[in-house]
Amino acid sequence: MAKGKGKGLKNSLNTLLQVKQKADIEKEKRAKLSKKTKTTQGSENSKVTRPKILPPFPFTLNDRILCVGEGNFSFSHALVKVLQTGYHLVATCYDSEQVVTEKYPDASDHINQIRQRDGTVLYNIDGTRLDKTRALKHRRFTHIIFNFPHVGMGIKDQDRNVRRNQELLLGFFQSALPLLTDPEFYSDDNQPGEIHVVTKTHRPYHLWQVRQLAQASGKLVCQSTTRFYPELFPGYEHRRTLGFQEGLSVGDNEEIMKSPPKLYVFVKGNAGEVAANQAAKKRKRKPTKSSSDSSDSDD
């Protein structure tokens, strides 16, 4: 990032943070007031447990997938297990191979499984310089995924912590953008490449303003935000940036499920183009009318 832009970027991030914090204070006040006026309805015995309905697996064999910021590589391993191949998968991490195996004792097993299924594993990859990385800059991907990004520096001051992670995300968006496939790659449905970012939703992560950071990168638009379901990826276990210690760190995705994690999907283009593509996809998913319904007008 150019030095001349540093001060302007910092001021912009500070303004974003202040606006968000004020809005959160008002939101908390309304939530407390609402909680006081609510009455408990029904008893424990009247509650009905409904089975969780998961969305479909979001990737196909035709997708070219780049995973950024992997920890123990269990997410990438889950992808190749479901797809039964890693031929179009590139899994990357910021650390060296030695550091990865020291921080995450289970990483070697996941990495071996990825490679056995023809997947590519790359170390020492800076997620804010993807377009400058020799092994990646000439490749194009239909999906670029960054799950639970975090600088992992243990910064105690909340505002400074938020800004550093915002800088990380902004750098990621700017460097990932040139590596996305163009809509023409999908000759059947003309869909653009996607950037997937998953974050926690409790304080202070909700202060990051992920959607606004993507828009600030220049050409990214938020196509959708949904809940992230780790259950879709068998064997995936989130690991913190600082590493995993048996008996001290939380396993089984307990940490990320304290509040439902959020999945952001971003695409290249403007808001009008994205809305038109979404409408076209919805029309395509509608069931074909039978001849008995032919008198009805088309949408």
Domains parsed from the chain with CATH numbers: 57-284 (3.40.50.150)
C-alpha 20/C-alpha 251 separation (Å) is: 31
Q: How confident is the model at residue 269, as a pLDDT?
A: 82
Answer yes or no: are the C-beta atoms of 80 and 252 closer than 8 Å. no
Answer yes or no: are the C-beta atoms of 143 and 105 closer than 8 Å. no
C-alpha 199/C-alpha 70 separation (Å) is: 14
pLDDT average per 10 residues of sequence, the chain (299 residues) = 59 69 68 55 53 91 97 98 98 97 96 98 98 97 97 86 96 97 69 94 92 93 96 91 51 73 93 64 53 37
Q: Which residue has the tokens 């000759």?
A: 187
Q: Which residue has the tokens 């400074």?
A: 160
Q: At what angle do helices 158-176 and 6-37 cross, to 10 degrees?
A: 120
Q: How confident is the model at residue 240, as a pLDDT?
A: 74
Q: Where are the beta strands (DSSP E) in 53-210?
A: 65-68, 89-92, 120-122, 143-147, 194-199
Q: Model-level pTM?
A: 0.77
Q: How confident is the model at residue 4, as a pLDDT?
A: 54
C-alpha 269/C-alpha 132 separation (Å) is: 22
Q: Which two tokens stand for residue 154?
A: 């243990």
Q: To 10 degrees, the CA torsion angle through 227, 230, 233, 234?
A: -150
Q: How confident is the model at residue 256, as a pLDDT?
A: 74
Answer yes or no: are the C-beta atoms of 136 and 179 closer than 8 Å. yes
